Structure 1
Amino acid sequence: MSRRVSFTPPPAARAYPLRTARGEFAVVDSPVAVGVEPKGVVVMLPGFTGSKEDFTLLHEPLSARGYRTVAVDGRGQFGSDGPETDESAYAQEELARDVHAQVDAVDTVGAPVHLLGHSCGGQIARAAVLLDHSPFRSLTLMSSGPAQISDSQQQRVKLLRDALAVMSMAKVWEAIQAMGPPEEVGGPAVGIGDADQLRRRWLGTKPAQLRATGHQLCTEPDRVAELAAVPLPFHVLSGTSDDTWPVPLLDDMAVRLHAHRTVVPGAEHSPNADQPLPTAQALADFWDDLADTRR
């Protein structure tokens, strides 16, 4: 396994509970670098089994390009509270409404807001845009596909959901570790968090959130045509290989969305962790290109 980077945010960033009309959400908020012209605000949504810390390596390079970054733990993820057993609280529309509340609560000072979702977070971001696209300047889907996840990943999610129905989070963690643990669906493949931090994140995540979003990943319909009708610029970014959504499927989705397409060399399902610098460059280049355009 490659070297892992601590969950600790960069020195200029601030971790705090963001108070919204729909409750508090844990965020890491990184300002634009000193002396750099501010260009916009990026709200970043993590994937299944993930957290705001998955974006740790993107904060500084995006800050240097003029973008304030706000990484959010969604309802029931790590630092954000949520029901332990009520899966209905994690319905996709509820999570999408949370995103709007988060954006409303972030003081953007009139700056454009770019929404970025990784994996399952991308499908939640898509739902938020379909609910109301007006707060957003663009949508980036990072390693997030058009519909349900691959058959092999569905099998893994089903095993997890079955385990969570009869075992505690601590016991499930022990079982995962005993198997030597596999790459998390929607979480970082390499690079983010040491063993103790990953365990704390797992134990801080609500089991109902994992059961509900795991079911969504296995049953999500194809909403690409619906999204393509939304008047926003889209960016589809991925690694060169991905076993959650095959890369050709992401290529096709980008065509259907008339989206900007980036494939990051040397990255797999988590470009933000695998290759953070070229990922940040591709993201900032896309947003920079939008600066002089109108919706």
Structure 2
Amino acid sequence: MSRPLTFAPPAGTHAGPLRTSRGTFASLVTPAAGSAAPEPRPTVLLLPGFTGSKEDFTAMLQPLATAGYRVVAVDGRGQYETPGPDDQAAYTQGELARDVLAQAAAVGTPVHLVGHSLGGQIARAAVLLDPAPFASLTLISSGPAEVTAAQQQKIKLLTDALARLGMEQVWEAMRAMGPPQDADTDGEPDLRRRWLMHNPAQLIATGRQLSTEPDRVDELAALPLARHVVSGESDDTWPVPLLDEMAVRLGAVRSVIAGAEHSPNTDRPERTAEALTAFWDRHCG
């Protein structure tokens, strides 16, 4: 179902630091390829999910740029190439949401904010803190509240292991249970390196958030902001019917990506980019 994840940025994409008022974040920046729009379009800010990184959006960068959008994908604090402290208190949802507001200010507002899975819940929290910087919010495979009971159990097993073992030991244990999702033999070293560079405090804290997140859909629906809910045809983290219902409650545009599961941004990146640009072009003018 999924294509192998590539860590090589496309031509024209700059990998480097995004300096903000709350610190420096590793980023991939792809400039807009040109647009017939009479005014500059908002910048697109992409937030990855749990155990993920900015590279989860690599295959979407060029299609979005070709459509006329400047695109910035970031590693959050403690994710992959963005260092973070060892204190779990540094990774509360409020702290991570304020990081997003600082990132939006640094890339230049207004911003089309896009979050995948955990990134979607952090994006939601940022918009609820201050919607002013954002032209729209897109939630990719990111549900209304906590993840399913089965996923909660998986997260507990992972975070319990992280509390007792080193990152290398946990990686070897996960590898023994099966190859990493979205990996092929050539790509596995990059995934291993990404895993080892994550801060375990970040994983433990954000795993707890995924398992305890309250339903804030009504708060979000009350904001005067264009909203978009995207998912694959199936999802084992938040069931698709639950995402359908959330979209109705939000009054959001709904896009289902054929042939994709929990990560349409890696499963079907071109189709996902098309859904995003169609939403922005039709509903955010």
Q: TM-score range by the shorter chain?
A: over 0.9
Q: Give 1:125's match in structure 2, choosing from 118, 123, 126.
A: 123
Show the 5 A alignment for 1:45-124. 45-84=47-86, 86-106=87-107, 108=108, 112-124=110-122
Alpha-carbon distance, 1:33 to partner: 1.2
**Equivalent residue, structure 1, for 2:4:** 4
- Alignment partners' CA distance in 2, 1:159 and 1:235: 32
Q: Given the superposition, is the C-alpha separation of residues 277 and 207 from structure 1 closer, same or farther in structure 2, using an over 3 Å criterion?
A: same
Give the match's secondary structure for 1:17.
Answer: strand
* Aligned-residue offset at 1:105: 1.2
Q: 1:154 aligns with which of 130, 146, 152?
A: 152
Residue 218 and residue 35 in structure 1: after superposition, are their counterparts in 2 closer, same or farther (change >3 A)? Answer: closer
Show the 5 A alignment for 1:274-293.
Answer: 274-292=267-285
SS of the residue 1:67 aligns to: coil
Q: Which amino acid aligns with 1:27?
A: S
* TM-score, with structure 1 as normaliser: 0.92
- Matches for 1:240-251 after TM superposition, within 5 Å: 240-251=233-244
Paired residues in the alignment total: 282
Which residue of the other structure, out of 138, 141, 155, is the alignment partner of 1:140? 138
Provide the C-alpha distance between the structure 1 equivalents of 2:221 and 2:281, rounded to a whole number of angstroms: 22
Amino acid at match of 1:217: L
* TM-score normalized by the length of structure 2: 0.95
**Runs of 4+ residues over 4 Å off in structure 1:** 34-38
Q: Percent identity?
A: 62
Q: What residue ranges of structure 1 are gaps of 5+ in the alignment?
A: 184-188
Alignment match of 1:231 (pick from 210, 224, 229): 224
TM superposition shift of 1:50: 0.1
- Letter of the 1:46 partner, please give it: P
In structure 2, C-alpha distance between the alignment counterparts of 1:13 and 1:36, rounded to whole Å: 21
Aligned equivalents of 2:62 and 2:212: distance in 1? 36
Q: By how many angstroms is 1:190 displaced?
A: 6.0
Unpaired runs of at least 5, structure 2: none
In structure 2, the residue matched to 1:33 is 33
Matches of 2:234 and 2:217, distance apart in 1: 21
CA RMSD of aligned residues (A): 1.6
Distance (Å, rounded) in 2 between the aligned partners of 1:130 and 1:137: 13
Aligned position for 1:23: 23
